A and B are shown apart, each in its own frame.
Chain A
Amino acid sequence: MSKYMIDKFMRAVEMSDAAVDAYVADTAGFVEAWETASGGTDRPTDDRTLTAEERAAFIARDFEALYVLGAHPYLLWHFTEAIFTHEFTDTFGWRDLVERYRAAVTPYGVPDYIA
């Protein structure tokens, strides 16, 4: 379930402005809260377990590590975009983030991301 949980976490953050803001404001706190959240009895499962490596990568906002761990590339890029856009300045913008991301993941080729 591991790659699936990485994707599930990224999707949960990226799909919501409030979640993006909360994750950026208190990254470790958000990860802990997400893992301990209860979905209620009307859900088929409530599995939100990350491995130690995955948890550390999310707390560090380390997209390179998540790529190697098998994050779905499409979700990973949009997750990365969502959580770093607020850091854009006059001298560091979208195209710079694209280049930084590409340089980080290129050495790893295309990992197996099929959950």
Chain B
Amino acid sequence: MAKLVMAAVTPHNPLLWRAMREPLPDDLRGVAANFALIRDTITELGVDVIIEVGTDHIRQFFGDNQPAFLVGKAESYHGTYENEVRTFGMEYSEITGHRELADLIAGRDVLTEAIDFAVSHEWRLDHGFTIPLHYLTPNFDIPIVPINVNSTLPPLPSPRRFAALGEHLRDTVERWDSDARVAILTSGHMATDVGGPKQFAGSPDPVFDAEAVAWMRDGDLEGAIHGCRYERIIEAGNITYQYVNALTALAAMGGVPADLAEATESRFASSPFFMWKAPV
């Protein structure tokens, strides 16, 4: 059977792509070090395939058709868009998909009992997916199953649904007849405001950040679900809901304390870095 060997949560802030260059600015050394730690862990654990849970930023999925949960079933994915090359200096990328695992996750004939997934055979990944891969698998040499979770355009799936997704991913990996070693990678934010009154001036809500780190450090899934109610999240910043993506990783690992739990400070906002290694 396949084995879920690790899960991780990283930021996907595309401003990092511009700013985190050698020589590293002092305020971004912690961010770079945590990306390196997770990258080294992926290598150390011999990960064969990555289930990447992230959020499209109103690029492919707009108000004309916004799925709550969507599984990528493509053989390969093209990364980033013209506007992200223009605005952030990002690079185009080509990423291999993993159709067999995607079919298992989404349901091939009948939708899973856990989540009503949409599927896509044609998906261009934005920075929510490509930034973590640029830092963690820079050669794009590990195939992925991308899963889009709507954390941006209300109405949003509730936090408990994100936990259900994590439990479903763990169950799917455990019943996959394969010797593959699987990682779950999610990306998101701590308290973050983009386009609002509190943008790009450090964390807009350090109290939320501290609580949000503690849920991961302590393995407190129920606390996280309760603490991520919509009204509290919006108070912490208008796109903070992408923090809820992290609940998928916590639930997938059985709600146990993370080996790494940190909100790494930088000039932009605090960056989420959480990681779990499965017991050997």
Q: Given A7-B63, A8-B63, A15-B59, A72–B195 Cβ distance below 8 Å?
A: yes
Partner among B57, B63, B200 whose Cβ is within 8 Å of the Cβ of A98: B200
Judge whether B57 and A74 touch: CB under 8 Å. yes
Interface residues of A in 89-115 (CB under 8 A from B): 98, 101-102, 105-106, 109-110, 114-115
Closest beta carbon of chain B to A6's beta carbon, Å: 11
Task: Mark each residue of chain A from 29 to 40: 1 if its CB lies under 8 Å from any CB of chain B, else 0.
Answer: 000000000000
A16: chain B residues at CB < 8 Å are 82-83
Query: Cβ of B86 and Cβ of A82 under 8 Å apart?
Result: yes
Query: Which DSSP category, helix, strand, loop or mixed, fits chain A's interface?
Result: helix
Q: Is the CB of A109 within 8 A of B197?
A: yes
A102 touches B197 (CB 8 A): yes
Quick one: which of A11, A98, A110 contacts B238, CB cutoff 8 A?
Answer: A110
B63 with A77: CB separation less than 8 A: no
Given known A7-B63, A8-B63, contact A14–B83 (CB-CB < 8 A):
yes
Cα distance A77–B238 in the bound complex, in angstroms: 12
Please, how many angstroms separate the alpha-carbon atoms of A11 and B87 in the complex? 14
The answer to whether B87 and A82 have CB atoms under 8 Å apart is yes
Question: How far apart sit A104 and B196, CA to CA, in the bound complex (Å)?
Answer: 10
CA distance A15 to B193 in the complex (A): 21
Beta-carbon contact of A74 and B83 below 8 Å: no
CB distance from B187 to the nearest CB of A (A): 16
When the two chains form their complex, are residues A81 and B87 in contact, meaning their CB atoms are under 8 A apart?
Answer: yes
* A75 at the binding interface (Cβ < 8 Å): yes
Residues from chain B with a CB closer than 8 A to the CB of A17 are 82-83, 86
Q: What secondary structure prevails in chain B residues at the interface with A?
A: loop
Which of B194, B200, B201, B234 makes the CB contact (< 8 A) with A74? B194
Q: Is B154 close to A, CB under 8 A? A: yes
Question: Hey, which chain A residues are within 8 Å of B200, CB to CB?
Answer: 98
Number of interface residues of B (CB under 8 A): 25
Chain A residue total in the interface (Cβ 8 A): 29
Partner of A76 from the list B82, B154, B195 (CB cut-off 8 Å) is B195
B41 close to A (CB within 8 Å) = no
Bitwise interface map of B from 137 to 157 toward A, beta carbon under 8 Å scored 1, else 0? 000000000000000111000
Closest residue of chain A to B200 (Cβ to Cβ) is A98
Query: Which residues 62-80 of B have a CB within 8 angstroms of A?
Result: 62-63
Residue with the greatest number of chain A CB neighbours at <10 A, chosen from B59, B83, B86, B198:
B83
Interchain nearest-CB distance for B218 vs A (Å): 30
B195, B201, B239: which has the most chain A beta carbons within 10 Å?
A: B195
Task: Determine the residue in chain A with the shortest Cβ distance to B82.
Answer: A17
Q: Within the complex, what minimum Cβ distance (angstroms) separates A58 from chain B?
A: 16
B195, A82: Cβ atoms closer than 8 Å: no
Contact code string B220-258 (vs A, CB < 8 Å = 1, else 0): 000000000000001000110000000000000000000
Contacts of B63 in A (CB 8 A): 4, 7-8, 115
0/1 interface trace, chain B 50-63, chain A, CB 8 Å (1 if under) = 00000001110011
B199 at the interface (CB under 8 A from A): yes
20 A-B residue pairs with Cβ-Cβ distance under 8 Å, sorted by A, are A8-B63, A11-B58, A11-B62, A16-B83, A17-B82, A67-B195, A73-B194, A73-B196, A74-B58, A74-B239, A75-B58, A77-B195, A78-B195, A81-B87, A82-B83, A82-B86, A82-B87, A101-B199, A105-B195, A105-B196
Interface residues of B (CB under 8 A from A): 57-59, 62-63, 81-83, 86-87, 152-154, 193-201, 234, 238-239
